[in-house]
Structure 1
Amino acid sequence: MDRQHSPSREPEIRFLIACPRSGSTLLMRIFAQSSECAATSRLVLTGNAQGSQDSFSPDLSILESPCRHVVFNKAKNVGKQFLICKEELGTNSQKGECLYDIFLTPSILELTRPIFLIRDPIRAFDSWKHVGWTDVQSLINCFTNIFRMHYQAPSHAISCVLYERLVQKPQNEVQRICARWGVTFSETMLDFKKPFGPSFIFPTDREEDMYCEKKLLGLSTTVEATSSVIPDVPPHSLLSNDEKDKLEEHLGRLYLRCWEGEVPRLRDVLLEKAWIGFDLDDTLHEFRKASSMATDEVLAIISGQYDIPMPALKQEYSRVLQLKTANAFSDGKTSFDYRKERFSLVLEHFSLPSDTHFMTLLLETYEATLSTSFELKCGALGLLSTLKNMGKKIVVITEGPQDAQERTVEALGIGSYIDFLATTNHFGVSKTAGLFTKVLEHLGISSGDMAYIGDNVQRDMEPALSAGIFSIHFTESKNVSLNLVPPQINTLRKLQYIISG
């Protein structure tokens, strides 16, 4: 039960510090469900904003003279015990919005009991780009400033909450925040009954418009539309590998420090493995993108030659691809045999001729486009180099024709790092039918000698784990979760930092 409140009692101020698009609105909504709490937004960031001024100065009046602040008095008048202030830094480095220091004295730290909410910068910037914020340096500055404030403050004066932990185990994390802030926890805080916008109090009309009226930029679409915490909000997948590399270079190690015990534990497991295994397609390189570009070039030739609509060709090719890759290329044919069969079936479906000259054109176009479209995943080369420098053996265990995968490895420039390339085509068995056991036998090692990284749950994680191999799920569509079995990562650069320390 919530404690009874007295309108005459002044509310205690609590600060939630975050980079924009890091889940702070979710926490704001959680605490707005409590009858003890009033939740508000960006008092320090927007308090001195006037029109479109080119400079910025933080407004610390809520800390210096809270009784004169409109939101403080609103919270007091309705009998709230706590005023939860969501204090996001800004998105414009040129104006100084990302670089200011909120905490100037130990007394402010003691007064506000700040919680730093940290989200994986990769996912945060993906969300930035979704709403039109494209300045990666501003995000880097914002996170760097937050980490600086966090690590410079006395450890007893601050607390860090990972967004990824919050959405995975919301009750555990919210209870921890409540204990830090002195708020009474109730399970009803995780069941959003109060309407989204009206449950908050606002310092300005503009802030109220953002949450209640105009819904500027769709900033709170997910948290507004849901009635509870969603564990895995799908990404928008808007980042290039170059952007991911830059973010990981500047922020990756800082972010991983927030995982505390999990990183050393995972590092210790990996260090004891003599062999590190990888899937190839969509783990070490962008196979889907490359094959899609190659397929589109081939279908465009067919469409232009015979006036068949591209959507119809794509639909039929997808059907054929699903049908003809069901055996995971374990029947010993070459890549050109597989491709010729697929293209022939598409032509046959539309009753089109398939002469030798035209088929050769299609096959050559596919191969040329594919080989020039290959791109390594973020951090792949650095991880492979780090592993070799540590004396690890590297095996690639992949589905696909042996000849095509050998060409892929060479085209990507990673052949010198790989000690053995194992394909379903070479061993005559799919991953789900025993390939991992065959590879262990071929290498003369036990399952305990290897760790394996792959992107597919059914074709990588499940069969590798069934073979007793320690596995890490590489998944760009889910949150980083180092405490799951198997652990989840979303860039190979993170894994490089984990194992290298």
Structure 2
Amino acid sequence: MKLKNKIKFIYFDLDNTLWDFKKNSVMALERLYDKKIKNLKRGNIDFQTFKNIYEKHNSAMWRAYERQEITPEVLKIKRFEKTIEELQLNEWIKATDLNDVYIHSLPSFPYLMPNAKEILEYLVSQYSLGILSNGFEDTQYRKLQSGGIVKYFDIIITSDQVGCSKPNEGIFQYAIKKSGCSPKEIVYVGDDYKIDILAANKMNIIGILLDPQNKMKEDSIIKIKDLIELKNYL
């Protein structure tokens, strides 16, 4: 199904759609562990344990943020407070210290999803491109810079900037207005079925799900396993 003649603007999610968040985050957590956790006198905490506990609490905090139950500032600190509490490190380290190291190092890593640059190079001469991401404005911009892809985008929108996060209709309404296009002239490419694709479709934006592991069995949406497959539609 070719969408080419209908589409004028393409928005991309950033984390795990263009920028390989999983890989980059592990590297940032390793740096954090080496600097702040590994040599604590409390000891006996291996990296995998630290990583698993942090990721559990980080995921829970992001879900709460997407439901608009907490602010970005609370998210940043609470995920580390919960991690420290579970690891029984309250007397040894502060959540703010962990967050500072993580937030500083995370966007410095450059790894992208397969064929990210290739597909952007292909699309940029045909469409206007934008980023629509749940995240912190400065951090997301630095990720784009470190990955060498900031030059491809006319518009960069973050939930931090808008004041609401996906799947809230407000952030999509803002993105539609900024694009200068009608919803039916916009494609949104993301990796999350609910907060990216269903939310976009609800606004009459065409959602395309990046699903490398083919986990989503829903046949009513457009799915791709690799970004390069966007050539089949655009």
TM-score (norm 1): 0.41
Match of 2:31 in 1: 297
1:278 and 2:12 matched = yes
Match of 1:352 in 2: 90
Pair 1:439–1:417, CA change in 2 (3 A)? same
Comparing both chains, which one has the higher relative contact order based on Cα–Cα distances under 8 Å and sequence gaps of 6 or more? Answer: 2
Match of 1:342 in 2: 79
Match of 2:138 in 1: 403
Alignment partners' CA distance in 2, 1:425 and 1:341: 17
Contact 1:276 1:452 in 2 (8 A): yes
What is the aligned counterpart of 2:193 among 454, 457, 460? 457
What is the aligned counterpart of 2:65 among 320, 327, 331? 327
Aligned amino acid, residue 367 of structure 1: H
Contact 1:382 1:496 in 2 (8 A): no
What is the aligned counterpart of 1:436 among 172, 177, 189? 172
Asked which structure has the greater CA Rg, the reply is: 1
State the identity as a percent.
22
Contact 2:9 2:179 in 1 (8 A): no
C-alpha displacement of 1:489:
1.0
Cα-to-partner distance string for 1:114-152 (whole Å, 9 max, x where unaligned): xxxxxxxxxxxxxxxxxxxxxxxxxxxxxxxxxxxxxxx
Alignment partners' CA distance in 1, 2:113 and 2:49: 31
Unpaired runs of 5+ in structure 1? Answer: 1-264
* Paired residues for 1:176-325 under 5 Å: 265-266=1-2, 269-300=3-34, 301-305=36-40, 306-310=42-46, 311-325=48-62
Question: What root-mean-square deviation, in Å, do the aligned CA atoms of Structure 1 and Structure 2 show?
Answer: 3.0
Pair 1:355–1:276, CA change in 2 (3 A)? same
C-alpha displacement of 1:497:
5.6
C-alpha displacement of 1:422:
1.2
C-alpha displacement of 1:463:
0.3
Contact 2:137 2:160 in 1 (8 A): yes
Pair 1:280–1:309, CA change in 2 (3 A)? same
What is the aligned counterpart of 1:364 among 101, 122, 126? 101
Pair 1:315–1:361, CA change in 2 (3 A)? closer
Pair 1:480–1:308, CA change in 2 (3 A)? closer
Contact 1:450 1:469 in 2 (8 A): yes
1:488 and 2:223 matched = yes
What is the aligned counterpart of 1:377 among 113, 116, 128? 113
Contact 2:19 2:111 in 1 (8 A): yes
Match of 1:207 in 2: none
Match of 1:55 in 2: none
- Structure 1: 4+ residue segments shifted above 6 A: 329-332
Contact 1:451 1:469 in 2 (8 A): yes
- Tell which deviates more after alignment, 424-433 or 437-446: 437-446
Pair 1:292–1:279, CA change in 2 (3 A)? same
Alignment partners' CA distance in 1, 2:18 and 2:165: 19
Match of 2:152 in 1: 417
Pair 1:329–1:293, CA change in 2 (3 A)? farther
Pair 1:271–1:484, CA change in 2 (3 A)? farther
C-alpha displacement of 1:394:
0.6
Match of 1:71 in 2: none
Aligned amino acid, residue 433 of structure 1: N
Alignment partners' CA distance in 1, 2:109 and 2:28: 8
Other structure's SS at 1:407 match: helix
Pair 1:388–1:472, CA change in 2 (3 A)? same
Alignment partners' CA distance in 2, 1:479 and 1:322: 19
Other structure's SS at 1:441 match: helix
Aligned amino acid, residue 277 of structure 1: Y
Unpaired runs of 5+ in structure 2? Answer: none
Match of 1:386 in 2: 122
Alignment partners' CA distance in 2, 1:458 and 1:288: 19
Other structure's SS at 2:66 match: coil
C-alpha displacement of 1:351:
4.1
Match of 1:41 in 2: none
Cα-to-partner distance string for 1:351-398 (whole Å, 9 max, x where unaligned): 433567x95476336633x345331222211211222212x1111111
Alignment partners' CA distance in 2, 1:480 and 1:312: 29
TM-score (norm 2): 0.82
Alignment partners' CA distance in 2, 1:282 and 1:348: 28
State how many pairs are aligned: 227
Contact 2:10 2:188 in 1 (8 A): yes
C-alpha displacement of 1:494:
2.1
Other structure's SS at 1:327 match: helix
Other structure's SS at 2:130 match: strand
